[in-house]
Amino acid sequence: MNLEQKRIGFVITGSFCAFRKTIIELKKIVKLGAKVVPIMSENSYTLDTKYGKAEDFKKEIEKITNTKILHTILEVEPIGPKDMLDILVVAPATANTIAKLANDIIDDPAVMAVRSHLRKEKPVVIAISANNGLSSAAQNIGKLFNMKHYYFVPFRQSNPITKPHSLAFDPSYLIKTIEYALDKEQIQPMLL
């Protein structure tokens, strides 16, 4: 499938260690001709971390997409009612965001963007990046597996020795997952 002219919402949540690999894939998506609408959770939009300053990430993302980042609940709420997107990607998707989606807690721009988009029953791609993915977050990931319109980027343990419960998406599968999800198919295998 061709991503040219596809309207892709791209939600970035607070798994700061995954920002760099996510931004690399974001650049590729834009180069393929997609119209990307960047969206950031409150934490990803405001927090400086050892991985970089929030202001630097915001400037880079807006430069890549040539679009202002949506970062408030009021800005993202019209996504569904106005049919603004063909697909929405959450990359990286933290365990916190996944828990909110699985339990219908809408208190942040990231989850509001997803819920608003789902009003049109369009696909949502989840790129897991969670230190507790194989422990306390596993039940919420399982819930999303069984909900309509969610598609997962293939993932694996990020480091089984030092972080045995951690899961991380494989960025090399992000674009392919988007293509499959636009056709309402889950790419396989999901677990790498």
Contacts of 173 (CB under 8 A, 6+ apart): 153, 154, 187
Closest to 121 (Cα-Cα) out of 77, 82, 86, 73: 86
Distances (CA, A) of 65 to 27, 53, 70, 71, 140: 8, 19, 12, 15, 31
pLDDT tens figures, 147-189: 999 999 999 998 889 999 999 999 999 999 999 999 999 999 9
122 with 159: CB under 8 angstroms? no
pLDDT tens figures, 24-69: 999 999 999 999 999 999 999 999 999 999 999 999 999 999 999 9
Interatomic CA distance for residues 73 and 100, integer angstroms: 14
116 with 38: CB under 8 angstroms? no
